[in-house]
Structure 1
Amino acid sequence: MSGNPDHKQHEEGPGDTMVCFQSYLHGGTSSLLSTLPTLIVFPVYKTVFRQQIHNTSVHQAVGQLYKEGPVKLYRGVAPPLVMRTLTGTLLFGLQDTLLRQLSTSSLNVISISALPALAGFGAGLVEAVVFTPFERVQNVLQNSQNDRQLPSMRSVFLKLKDQRMSSGFYRGFLPITARNTLGSSLYFGLKEPMCAVVAGQGLSPLASSFISGTLTSMAISLALYPLSVLVANMQAQVGGELKGVMACWRMLWKSRQQSLILLYRGGSLVILRSCITWGITTAIYDRQEKRSG
């Protein structure tokens, strides 16, 4: 990717603006092209969500979805498709923009090797602010217990709009921020070193980018999976008693019988989803960046 800390230090001109714009464009394009796999594996994602919410096995979660029928299978698919494209645009573009700024202003203060991760942290923070409402709507729609009360996306928006930000659209903001900032920081910090190691095995640049994105996102998804489970449980319900993050975590941990195995239910499917989506996104993005460079 163009997020290389060895940017030349010079006054920013039209050429620099165009390069920054290309990072946003390439990030959005690569994520848009990966929406097809996202659409295909959405039933997998929904199965994981049911496991996170109801603490069920894969067989039980699939049985629930089968009984609900194919019409409801893709209920809630719109927010992740929109998020997927917009997230790529913002995440890759903003990370590259921040990296360029840090490379010229903090070169003597922060280690060059740490700059991509730091820029990723900043991009992840903005991502959390922008996309928490999308994730909130998605989780409400995917919870079958809301089908009667909130049958459509419009009804969900109207319901959340009437509530305070902290209990409405921005429910679960703190764990989302922790997950996104840590995830983005690790992704951009590890992607290039991982790609270099893989390329050293004699693989093509495209294959190296794909494997690098896959392995990096796989490790991150597994490490931060408990936060995703916490977010899903905090955001799936609308109304009722509003509990804080720690209270929700204690309830979740107790409901999983204080077992990591039960807490990580659905974790193997997260690996599958990460392999498909982030592997493709990383490969396409890196290829576009090298062509434009």
Structure 2
Amino acid sequence: MGWSPANSDKEQHQKDADPTAWFRKYKHGGTSSLISTLTTVMTFPIYKTVFRQQLHSSGFRETVAQLNKEGPLKLYRGVAPPLLMKTLNGTLLFGLQGTLLQRLSRAESILPGTVLPALAGLGAGVVEALIFTPFERVQNILQNSGNDRSLPTIRSILVRLRSENLAQGFYRAFLPILARNALGSSLYFGLKDPVSSALREQGLSPVASSFFSGVFNSMVISLPLYPMSVLVANMQAKVGEEKLGLRASAQKLWRARQCSLILLYRGGSLVILRSCISWGITTAIYDRLENRTN
């Protein structure tokens, strides 16, 4: 039988009735993200290449030459925060979205059932931004080679950030991160099951449909939200310099990119590639674990 909103809602109500469902979603979210951290390690050089392009607006060859000159040891400087973030992020994102969806299902008489996953994803994205902005701040400082001498270790970075107020220290660029994560999570959870179900109707296996659902969603999310990631990288990568606000930082970035969308999106194709691999695998593993316990 093909997928339909009515069938999906009935299945969701049955899942929500299970008192252990909330814990299972946290566990499966963390497990799928932990397994997919292998892709984080494998694709970290891609991520770092993109980060340098975001920061310096340099070409691909120029950026690769710069990283090659720094050597293999520094290539993976800054990999620890994303590895930790990946596992914790998956645990929180999938688990919290499931918890919020369970609570929101009680208001289904007011809101259409089809929008509840996206709304729950929006709430999960807000909490995600609150918790993980400090991780992203440390990660971006580590990946900026200009900080290698003054801030050589994670400990030195933490000491420096503690000396700043929250808005300029750990929570620098919080607003664009909040907008990016909330919108991204809402789109992901709003599209995940409908896209996967549509692909299964075309004859794809459950694992393949989940994987390509993750790939498709990552493309839809990454492309329009990429400029926010560029802005975040430029706001967070430096410490102790001019403390411009969000609007002034965005204007400075736009001028630095010569008011060109092409330059602003430099490195965007690599972000989409990395995101497709990571979220495709994560989605496939998560759905597989969920289906095995249902």
TM-score range normalised by the length of the shorter chain: over 0.9
1:8 paired with 2:13, answer yes
> How many Å separate the matches in 2 of 1:57 and 1:201?
40
1:9 deviates by: 8.1
Letter in 1 for 2:179: A
2:38 aligned with 1:33: no
For 1:67 and 1:5, the matched residues in 2 are separated by: 55
Runs of 4+ that moved beyond 2 A: 4-12
Report the TM-score, using the length of structure 2 for normalisation: 0.95
Instruction: Give the residue type in structure 2 aligned to 1:124.
Output: G
Q: CA deviation at 1:8?
A: 3.1
Match of 1:69 in 2: 71
Q: Which runs of 5+ in 1 are unaligned?
A: none
Query: Offset of 1:274 from its aligned partner?
Result: 1.0
User: Contact 2:16/2:102 (CA < 8 Å) preserved in 1?
Assistant: no
CA distance in 1, matches of 2:15, 2:204: 35
- How large is the RMSD of aligned CA atoms in angstroms? 1.3
% identical equivalent positions: 63
Normalising by structure 1, what TM-score?
0.95
Q: Determine if the alignment matches structure 1 residue 231 to structure 2 residue 232.
A: yes
Q: Does 1:177 align with 2:182?
A: no
Contact 1:27 1:88 in 2 (8 A): yes
Looking at structure 1, the residues matched to 138 and 99 of structure 2 have their Cα atoms a distance apart, in angstroms, of 29
Query: 1:131 corresponds to which letter in structure 2?
Result: F
Q: 2:246 maps to what in 1? A: 245
SS of the aligned residue for 2:219 comes to helix
Q: Report the AA paired with residue 152 of structure 1.
A: T
The residue type paired with residue 98 of structure 1 is L
1:224 counterpart SS class:
helix
Paired with 2:16 and 2:255, the residues of 1 have a C-alpha distance of 56
8 Å contact from structure 2 (residues 78, 143) kept in 1: yes
Residues 77-119 of structure 1 show CA distances to partners (whole Å, capped at 9, x for unaligned) of 0000000000000000000000010001x11111111000000
Aligned residue-pair number: 286
Q: Describe the shift of the 1:11–1:56 C-alpha distance in structure 2 as closer, same or farther (beyond 3 A).
A: closer
Q: 2:210·2:287 contact (CA, 8 Å) conserved in 1?
A: yes
Pick from 92, 96, 99: which aligns with 2:98?
A: 96
C-alpha contact (below 8 Å) 2:231/2:249 kept by paired residues: yes
Contact 1:191 1:216 survives alignment (8 Å): yes
Contact 1:26 1:288 in 2 (8 A): yes
Selected match of 1:81 from 80, 83, 88: 83
SS in 2 for 1:131: helix
1:247-284: per-residue Cα shift (whole Å, max 9, x none)? Answer: 10000011001111000001100111012100000000
Q: Which amino acid aligns with 1:31?
A: S
Structure 2 unaligned blocks of 5 or more: 1-7
Query: 1:190 maps to what in 2?
Result: 191
For 1:174, give the aligned amino acid. Answer: L
